[in-house]
Each structure stands twice: as structure tokens, then as C-alpha cells.
Amino acid sequence: MNSIKFTLSSDLFFSITFLVFIILINIRNVRGHPNGAPPRLCEKMLPDHGEQSMTSAMPFEISLDRKFVRGDNKLTIKVKSKDPSRYTLAGVLFIMKQPNNKLQSFGTFDPTKSGDDLKTVECFGKQGSGITHTNPSKKTSLMFEWTAPNVPSGDYELQ
């Protein structure tokens, strides 16, 4: 019976180890949320799929159709890439909070202006108080509406 013998050199061992390491890293990063962010992410507002939060200047523009709204009025929000060839949106989660109240979301979102790309998510026990992606496809812009809560006036932050 013939057999093939080989010696695993340190260079080859390092190459194989490095290749396995790269594969494992990529498997870990694939565990994203292709059908939208789960409600448990509303509190921390941090990615949950192995990617880091962005620390550089945001490569997206957020525009509002008005600066002031009253209770039950709708606000149209547009998110658009500043450089669509380099920056796209795949996974998103937006909620509206007050600067001094990080554990509650306010108002409700309506995703219909973005077709099938967005859906609402329940944040802090309130249905429709967050909005997230429905699929991991890359998008260069999104548009959705937020209905202001019928409460006394205050400042709000889109996060």
C-alpha cells in the first residue's frame, strides 16, 4: 500500500491557521439581522452583528420636511447617502427619543414611503415606535414618516 507523506511546515501551518481565522471572522459577521433589528437593540442603539459603530463623520444626510410638529402631525424623514458609490444602507434602526429620556421612545413610524424596505418595530413595549430594515439589500436612500405624540411640547432626537 502506497502512502503519501508530507511535513506541515511552520509557514504552511501559519497560512492554514490564518485562513481558518479569516473564515471564522466572516462567519461571525454574517450573523446579522437580515429581517430587521430586534426590539432588544432599541435601548443601546448599537450594532449586534459583529460590526463596529461608525465613529467618523456620518456619510448620510438626514432631512426633515419641517422643523416643528404638533401632536398627531406627521413628519417626513429622508435619509440619503452623500456618496452612493461608496456608502449604502443595509441594516438600520431608527427611534425618536427625548434628550433627557433615553429609555423611552416617542411617536410612531410609518414605513410605507420606502415600499417594502422598512417595517416598524416595537421599542420599549410600544408597537410602531421604531423603524428597521426588512431585508439586507443595499439602499442609497430611505424615506419614512413619524407621527408626533400627542403630549406637551419638547425636543426630540432621531437616533
* pLDDT confidence band for 52 (50 / 70 / 90): low
For residue 153, pLDDT over 70 is answered with: yes
Question: Looking at per-residue confidence, does 134 or 2 come out higher?
Answer: 134
Cβ(114)–Cβ(133) below 8 Å: no
Question: Looking at per-residue confidence, does 24 or 56 come out higher?
Answer: 56
Dihedral of CA atoms 13, 19, 22, 28 in degrees, nearest 10, equals -90
- Supply the pLDDT for residue 53: 63
All domains of the chain in start order, with CATH: 39-158 (2.60.40.4060)
| Helix ranges restricted to H, the chain | 10-29
Cβ(142)–Cβ(81) below 8 Å: no
- Supply the pLDDT for residue 122: 92
Question: Looking at per-residue confidence, does 90 or 152 come out higher?
Answer: 90
Contact partners, residue 79, CB within 8 Å, separation at least 6: 60, 61, 62, 89, 92, 141, 142, 143
Q: How far is CA 16 from the centre of its chain?
A: 34
